[in-house]
Structure 1
C-alpha cells in the first residue's frame, strides 16, 4: 500500500484579516480530515511596492481595482497572531504551516515550522531561497508560472545551500485554473527530471484534478478552502467550501486504498467468486460409460469447480469412465 498523501488545506488569506475566522478555518480543516492547515505570512512593507498592481484574477474575484498593497493591507495577519494560530493548531490536532513571503517572515516562522512551503512567486527570489535553504529543513516547492529551467535553477540553489528534502508541486497560477490549463502530466515530467517526490497545488474548481493527481503519484496535495465562497476577498471564488474539502479528502483516501500493491493476483473475495463465475467442462447430453468425449457431447457451463475449459483438448477423445447425466461435471 502506498504512503499516505499529505493533504494541505490552504487557508491562505481567506480569514480576511480576522484571527477569529482563521481559527474557524483551522477547525474546519481538522473536521474535514486534512493533515495540514496553511496560512500566508508577510510584512507588507517587504512584500509589495506602492505601485504594484493587482493581478487580473484578483480584480475579477474582488470586483475592485486597487493596488496590491491596499488589498493586502486588509488581509494580512500580524506576526503575533501566527504564534497563537500555531498553538491553536497543536491544541486542535492539525499541523500548522504558513508560507513566508519575505526574509523577515522566514526568520519569524523558523521556530514555528518543521517544513517550508515556498510559493510559486518566490521561486526566482535568490536571497529568499538561500535564507530558507540554510535552515536545513525539508521544503515543498510550488512551481506555478515556471519553465523547467527555472525549476532546475531553484532546486540547484536550494541544494547548494544544504536544504532538506525537496518535494516539487506542479501548479498553475490562475484562480480559478481552467481545465485545459492544468497540464497534469507536467507533474510526471518534474518527477522524472528531478528524481524527487512530486505533488500538485490545485486552483481548479472542483476536486477531480487533485484526485487524479493522487492516482498519478502525487505525495502532496494543496487546495484552497474557505468557509464561504461568496465572502469578499481575492481567493474565495477559487476555493472549496467545507463539504467539498471533506469530499476531496475522502476521495483521496479511497484512491490511496484503491492503488494497491501493483501485483496482479486475485483477492480473497475473488477466489471465492471465481468458483461461481468461471466455467467447467460438462456433459451437453447424457453420456454412457465408454463413450468418447467429443464436441457433440461436451460443453462448458458454470460452476468452475470442475475441469477447466482450458483443458478442452486434453479431454476430447478420452473415454467416459462412467455414465454422465446432462449438465454433470466431467471427470477423467
Structure 2
C-alpha cells in the first residue's frame, strides 16, 4: 500500500494547511449539539470563532440512508430524546442542505473553515453543493467502503477517526482513499461518551504514525481540557473537541462536550504547547546566556598562591559567576606558574599564569 509522507502538507484552502511543521488544526465539533435549532448552531459557531479555532464541524445525515425501517420505528423515549421513535429523534436533529449552506456562509464570515462528517452519499452531495474543502469520516464508517470511495472521488482531504476500527479496517479504508489521493489524517479516538481517562490510549497515536506514516491527530471525548494538550505534545496536528452551549442541555453528546470557557482554554493551552516544543537542539540559547553568566560555576582560587608557584587542582574550587574557566578546561592553567601573588577567592583567568 502507498503510504502518506509524514512530512507532507495537506492544503485545506488558500489560508490553511495541515502538516508536521504547521500549527495544530483545531476543530470545534458542533455535530448535532445545535439540537436542530439554527439559533443554537449560529451561537456555537460564534463560540468557536471567539475561542480562535480553525474550523467548525457539523454532522450531516440522510435518515432514509441511515436507518432500516425497523431501526427508524424503534421506540426512543427518554430524557435525551427528541422524538417518540429513534428515527423521529434523528430527523429532529437534522438540518437541511439549505440550512447548512447558510451556516457555512455564516462560519466563513467568522473566519472559520466549515465542514462535516458526511454519513452517506446524499450527504456528500449536499456538502459538495455547499463547497466544503474537506471531509470527516466518523470511526463507525471506516468499514463503509462505498461511502469512503465516494468521498475520496471528490479529491478533497479526509480526516478519519479510528475509535471503532481494527488495523484491518484502517488498512482497507486507506487503500480505498489512496486510489484517488493521499490527503489523509488519522485521528486517535476512543468511541466512549464520555471517555474514561484510562481508555484514551494516547500511545495509539504513535502506533498509527509508525504503521501508516500519515499525519496524526486526536479526537477526544473525555471530560475536561487536558487531553488535547497531551495529544499535541505527542505530535497531534489535528485536534477535535465537541462543544456545547451548556453541558446540561438535552441530548446525548452535551455531557462530554466543552462549554465556551473550556474551548477557549483548550485553544490557549494547545497554542502554548506548540510554543513550548522548540527546535529540539541542545544548546545555550541567546536568552539563557545572561543567566549562565550569573549562575554557572567558574574556577576560583581556593587558597592564595605566590608568584612563581605552580598551580595545582588543590588551589582550585568552583564558584559563580560563570564568566571564567569551567572545570573541564582547567588544563589551560593547571601546571602553570603564577605571574604574581594572588589571594584566595579570586576568579582564575589564563593571563594570571605562564
**TM-score bin (small chain):** over 0.9
Match of 2:28 in 1: 9
Between stretches 290-299 and 230-239, larger displacement belongs to 290-299
Secondary structure at 1:243 match in 2? helix
CA distance in 1, matches of 2:91, 2:330: 80
1:288 Cα deviation after fit: 2.1
Match of 1:306 in 2: 324
Distance 1:308 1:53 in 2: 78
Tell me which residue corresponds to 2:268: 250
Mean Cα deviation higher: 219-228 or 90-99: 90-99
Which residue does the alignment assign to 2:50? 31
Distance 1:217 1:155 in 2: 20
Q: Where does residue 177 of structure 2 map in the other structure?
A: 158
Q: Does structure 1 conserve the Cα–Cα contact (< 8 Å) formed by 2:81 and 2:89?
A: no
Secondary structure of the residue aligned to 1:98 is strand
Aligned to 2:107: 89
Deviation at 1:325, TM superposition (A): 2.3
- Deviation (angstroms), 1:61: 8.2
Pair 1:216-2:234 in alignment = yes
TM-score, length of structure 1 as denominator length: 0.93
Structure 2 residue corresponding to 1:80, chosen from 67, 74, 98: 98
**Which of the numbers 330, 341, 345 marks the counterpart of 1:327?**
345
Q: What are the superposed Cα offsets for residues 134-158 of structure 1, whole Å, 9 maximum, x if unpaired?
A: 1111111111111111100111012
1:120 paired residue among 139, 160, 163: 139
**How many Å apart are 1:289 and its aligned residue?**
1.5
What pairs up with 1:1-332 in 2 under 5 angstroms?
Answer: 2-52=21-71, 62=80, 67-111=85-129, 112-160=131-179, 162-331=180-349, 332=353
Q: How far off is 1:208 after superposition?
A: 1.6
Which runs of 5 or more residues in structure 1 are unaligned?
Answer: none
- Closer, same or farther in 2 for the Cα pair 1:60/1:123, shift >3 Å? farther
Under a length normalisation based on structure 2, what TM-score does the superposition of the two structures give? 0.87
Structure 2 portions without partners, runs of 5+: 1-19
Return the alpha-carbon distance in structure 1 between the equivalents of residues 48 and 312 of structure 2.
68
User: Contact conserved, 1:142 with 1:168, CA < 8 A, in 2?
Assistant: yes
Q: Is the 8 A contact 2:152 2:177 kept in 1?
A: yes
C-alpha separation in 2, matches of 1:263 and 1:59: 59
